[in-house]
Amino acid sequence: MARKNRKHSQLKKMDLKKIEQGVRLVIEGIGEDPDRPGLKGTPGRVARMMDDILGGTRIDPQEDLEVFQDERHDELVLIRNIPLYSFCEHHLLPFAGVAHVAYIPKEGRIIGLSKIARLVDTLARRLQVQERLTKQVADILNATLNPLGVMVVIEAEHLCMSMRGVKKPKAITVTSAVRGSFRNNPATRTEAMMLIKGGIPGGREI
Ligand SMILES: [Zn+2]
């Protein structure tokens, strides 16, 4: 994805110096020497990495969600297994997995498939919780397309669950947000779920 070319000058830039100072304090707090050779460049590296992996913070997710008119399309559209990397705002640790996004166009209004993947990416590259991320993708698509229905399912592994506390490696958290006909019509929802689960016989791994 051509992240570098995105227009985000209008939104606030990250204060990389401040992040650097903070990371240095964390290293000191841990009881390490931030000036030893292995750690010397770490605060700067972490700051530049934050600028990238949390870069969605300064992008308006709706900015390039162009809607097209194509009267031939009135059936369910599903993009499955959109890769997702996000950052848990409670622990500042990553969660990663996939998003599945389905919608049913209304009056031929559709959107480029890559734009949906980009929307997921922009919203994921923020301090997030999975539930909110799921809702935001659904609500923005709903507001932009005004479709008959939207359904978003996210499956992710949270390192804050796998590495610490309850230590449940490979536990997958599943969240969903359904709007319109996916909410009102169980058959439509079931059809979408079958399509999401399909593809790999006997189940799949993420
Ligand atoms: Zn967490």
If pLDDT is split at 50, 70 and 90, which confidence band does 199 have? low
Contact 182, 102 (CB under 8 A): yes
What confidence tens digit (pLDDT) does each residue in 37-72 have? 999 999 999 999 999 999 999 899 988 888 988 877
Domains of the chain by range and CATH? 11-53 (1.10.286.10), 67-197 (3.30.1130.10)
88 CA from centroid of ligand 1 (Å): 5
Our answer to whether residue 107 is catalytic in this structure is no
Contact 134, 152 (CB under 8 A): yes
What confidence tens digit (pLDDT) does each residue in 107-125 have? 999 999 999 999 999 999 9
How far apart, in Å, are the Cα atoms of 59 and each of 7, 87, 124, 126? 8, 16, 11, 10
160 CA from centroid of ligand 1 (Å): 5
Rounded to an integer, what distance in angstroms lies between the CA atom of residue 92 and that of residue 164? Answer: 12
Q: Residues lining ligand 1 (ion), CB within 5 A?
A: 88, 90-91, 160
129 CA from centroid of ligand 1 (Å): 8
